[in-house]
Amino acid sequence: MTTTIPVAGGAFAPYEVVVGRGLLKTAGAEVAALKPTRAFIVSDETVAAIHGETVRASLEGAGLATGIVTVPAGEASKSFEQLEAVLDRLLAEGLDRKSLVVALGGGVVGDLAGLAAALFMRGIDFVQIPTTLLAQVDSSVGGKTAIDTPRGKNLIGAFHQPRRVLADIEALATLPVRQVRSGWAEVLKHGLICDAAFFDWLGGEGAAGAQGDPDALERAVIRSVEIKAQIVGEDEKEAGRRALLNLGHTFGHALEAELAFDETLTHGEAVALGCAMAFRYSARQGLCPAVEAERAEAGIRAAGLPTRLSDVAHAFAADALIARMAGDKKAEGGRLTLILARAVGDAFTDKDVDAEAVRAFLIEEGAA
């Protein structure tokens, strides 16, 4: 059985996210229905070795000319160097404007391949086949594509929506447990933003999902995609409500950048810690009851995710973190923007954050 979730709102061509089992094997027919001249796979070395042949055979079986380009696994591949390598390969392969890119992998591959598709001949179609939980619940939906630079996270990118998203729950069976938990962080984020009942389910009946239980994972993917689809349908380019999806990211991206995007923290772990910090900061500023910040932190920690700077083996400096946060894409005219909360399930955007209050908070949190 599959579940189909529409992503629509008028600002872009509508598309569907299909969630189900065995979708890697049937991807060929789904892609062929879009009638491309070719369907070229972009993946990373790890995913290509596990799932590449299934998808390649499915595309070929559906009569599509195909091929595959891979990048090394990991965040470091969201780089100018790998973007250039992928684009050069697409050119060398002779793809045309009616060719289609198939992004097969986690958020790194989706963001990189999506940006390559946005740039190739000024924009060609792409299909997302997300193989991590994080990519299924978040990065494959909504059209944000990007690479990092040493100056910060996702600073070079484009909005480019996929034509279709195929989220195969069976693909998650090979995912390391650390990566399952990492994706769970973005799932928890969706509950923290706007669905307190979902957040409580994730910590109760649904908690097995964080350990890889496929039924709980499927429900978590479906509800997450419903939440994200509704928000991006209203606000594709983050003029307003979409910024809520950045809960935990202003802190989280600053931590990732300070760690030079190494493996100390995955993106999901940084977001988990960032969400706990956003709730504690909200409580400190009197915007949210302390008990709600404790509820948020307990739910995140119960899933085995970090909630405190002391959980990370690195000495962070408050000023360095603030400088990173000032370079965040949400900052306007030098003012920090943070996504804060009144309670679990009730996040809001604060565009006028006092940097001195954040500095004091970071020092209370253990930054130097």
Ligand X SMILES: O=C(O)C(=O)C[C@@H](O)[C@H](O)[C@H](O)COP(=O)(O)O
Ligand Y SMILES: NC(=O)c1ccc[n+]([C@@H]2O[C@H](COP(=O)([O-])OP(=O)(O)OC[C@H]3O[C@@H](n4cnc5c(N)ncnc54)[C@H](O)[C@@H]3O)[C@@H](O)[C@H]2O)c1
Which residues are annotated as catalytic? 122, 144, 186, 228, 238, 242, 246, 249, 253, 267
CA 168, 173, 175, 181 torsion-angle sign: positive
Decide if residue 179 touches ligand Y (CB under 6 A): yes
Q: Of 154-213, which residues contact ligand X (CB under 6 A)?
A: 154, 186
Q: Is 249 annotated as a binding residue?
A: yes
Closest by CA position to 36, among listed 143, 124, 129 = 124
Interface with ligand Y (CB under 6 A), residue from 66, 79, 182, 282: 182
* Cα 69-15-182 angle, rounded to 5 deg: 60
By CB under 6 A, which span of 83-91, 178-186, 188-196, 349-357 interacts with ligand Y?
178-186
Residue 104 CB, nearest approach to ligand Y (Å): 9
| Residue 336 parent element (H or E) | strand 336-343
Residue found by looking up tokens 């195929």 in the block: 166
Residues with Cβ within 8 Å of 162's Cβ and at least 6 positions away in sequence, in order, are: 15, 103, 114, 125, 126, 127, 128, 140, 143
Q: Is 110 annotated as a binding residue?
A: yes
Q: How many chain residues touch ligand X (CB under 6 A)?
A: 12
Q: Of 230-289, which residues contact ligand X (CB under 6 A)?
A: 238, 242, 245-246, 249
Tokens of 213: 């239980």
Residue 348 CB, nearest approach to ligand X (Å): 15
Closest to ligand Y by CB, 46 or 66: 46
Residue found by looking up tokens 């954050």 in the block: 353
Which DSSP string corresponds to 151-208? TEEEEEEEE---SEEEEEGGGGGGS-HHHHHHHHHHHHHHHHHH-HHHHHHHHTTTGG
Determine contact, residues 279/341, Cβ cutoff 8 Å.
yes
Write the binding mask 48 to 67 for ligand Y: x where contact by CB under 6 A, - elsewhere: --x-----------------
Instruction: Choose the contact partner of 47 out of ligand X, ligand Y, none; CB within 5 to 8 A by kind.
Output: ligand Y
Q: Is 131 annotated as a binding residue?
A: yes
Determine contact, residues 14/6, Cβ cutoff 8 Å.
yes
Instruction: Choose the contact partner of 329 out of ligand Y, ligand X, none; CB within 5 to 8 A by kind.
Output: ligand X
Q: What is the DSSP secondary structure assignment for residue 341, as one 8-state letter?
A: E
Q: Of 210-239, which residues contact ligand Y (CB under 6 A)?
A: none
By CB under 6 A, which span of 45-53, 295-303, 311-319, 350-358 interacts with ligand Y?
45-53
Q: Is 109 annotated as a binding residue?
A: yes
Closest to ligand Y by CB, 154 or 282: 154
Determine contact, residues 143/160, Cβ cutoff 8 Å.
yes
Residue found by looking up tokens 């390649």 in the block: 56
Instruction: Choose the contact partner of 78 out of ligand X, ligand Y, none; CB within 5 to 8 A by kind.
Output: ligand Y
Residues with Cβ within 8 Å of 73's Cβ and at least 6 positions away in sequence, in order, are: 44, 45, 46, 47, 108
Tokens of 265: 């923290």
Q: CA distances (Å), 129 to each of 20, 99, 139, 194, 272, in order?
A: 12, 16, 11, 26, 24
Q: Of 247-276, which residues contact ligand Y (CB under 6 A)?
A: 266-268
Closest to ligand Y by CB, 171 or 216: 171
Interface with ligand X (CB under 6 A), residue from 51, 78, 144, 164: 144
What are the binding residues? 107-111, 131-132, 144, 153, 186, 249, 267
| Binding positions for ligand X, rule: CB under 6 A | 138, 142, 144, 153-154, 186, 238, 242, 245-246, 249, 329
Residues in contact with ligand Y by CB under 6 A are 44, 46-47, 50, 73-75, 78, 105-109, 111, 131-132, 134-135, 138-139, 142, 144, 154, 171, 174-175, 179, 182, 186, 266-268
